[in-house]
Amino acid sequence: MEYKKRIIITGGAGFIGSHVVRRFVNNYPMYHIINLDKLTYAGNLANLKDIEDKPNYTFVKADICDFPKIMELMKTYQVDGIIHLAAESHVDRSIKDPFTFAQTNVLGTLSLLQAAKNYWESLSERYEGKRFYHISTDEVYGALDFDDTLFTESTKYDPHSPYSASKASSDHFVRAFHDTYGMPTIVTNCSNNYGPYQFPEKLIPLFINNIRHRKPLPVYGKGENVRDWLFVEDHARAIDTIFHHGKVAETYNIGGFNEWKNIDIIKVLIKTTDRLLGRPEGADDDLITFVTDRKGHDLRYAIDSTKLKKELGWEPSLQFEEGIEKTVQWYLDNQEWMDNVTSGDYQKYYEEMYQNR
Give the binding site for ligand TYD (CB under 6 A): 91, 192, 202-203, 206, 218-220, 225, 227, 262, 294
Residue 256 C-beta: closest distance to ligand TYD, Å: 13
Alpha carbon separation from 248 to 28, 31, 192, 213, 287 (Å, rounded): 21, 20, 24, 47, 48
Q: Exposed, middle or buried, 146 (CB in 10 Å: 0-12/13-18/19+)?
A: exposed
- Phi first, then psi, for residue 261 (nearest 5°) are -70, 145
Residue 215 C-beta: closest distance to ligand NAD, Å: 22
From the candidates 163, 301, 331, 349, give the one annotated as an active-site residue: 163
Interface with ligand NAD in residues 77-116 (CB under 6 A): 85-87, 89, 104, 108
Residue 181 among the catalytic residues = no
Q: What stretches of the chain adopt beta strand conformation (E)?
A: 5-10, 31-37, 57-61, 81-84, 131-137, 185-190, 192-194, 217-220, 226-231, 251-254, 259-261, 288-291
Binds ligand NAD (CB under 6 A): choice among 7, 8, 9, 13: 13
Residue 109 partner contact from ligand TYD, ligand NAD, none using kind-dependent CB cut-offs of 5 to 8 Å: none
Which residue(s) pair with 133 in the sheet?
83, 186
Identify which range of 1-9, 68-76, 187-195, 210-218 contacts ligand NAD by CB under 6 A. 187-195
R_g of the chain, CA atoms, integer Å: 20
Residue 163 among the catalytic residues = yes
Residue 131 partner contact from ligand TYD, ligand NAD, none using kind-dependent CB cut-offs of 5 to 8 Å: none
Residue 220 C-beta: closest distance to ligand TYD, Å: 4
Contact letters for ligand NAD, residues 166-185 (x by CB under 6 A)? -x------------------
Residue 139 among the catalytic residues = yes
Measured CA to CA, the distance from residue 232 to residue 174 in angstroms comes to: 24
Residue 190 partner contact from ligand TYD, ligand NAD, none using kind-dependent CB cut-offs of 5 to 8 Å: ligand NAD
Q: Say if strands 131-137 and 81-84 run parallel, antiparallel, or are unpaired.
A: parallel
Cβ neighbour number for residue 279 with a 10 Å cutoff? 15
DSSP secondary structure string, 22-57?
A: HHHHHH-TTEEEEEEE---TT--GGGGGGGTT-TTE
Q: Which residues are catalytic?
A: 138-139, 163
Binding site for ligand NAD (CB under 6 A): 10-11, 13-17, 37-40, 42-43, 63-65, 85-87, 89, 104, 108, 135, 137, 167, 190, 192-193, 199
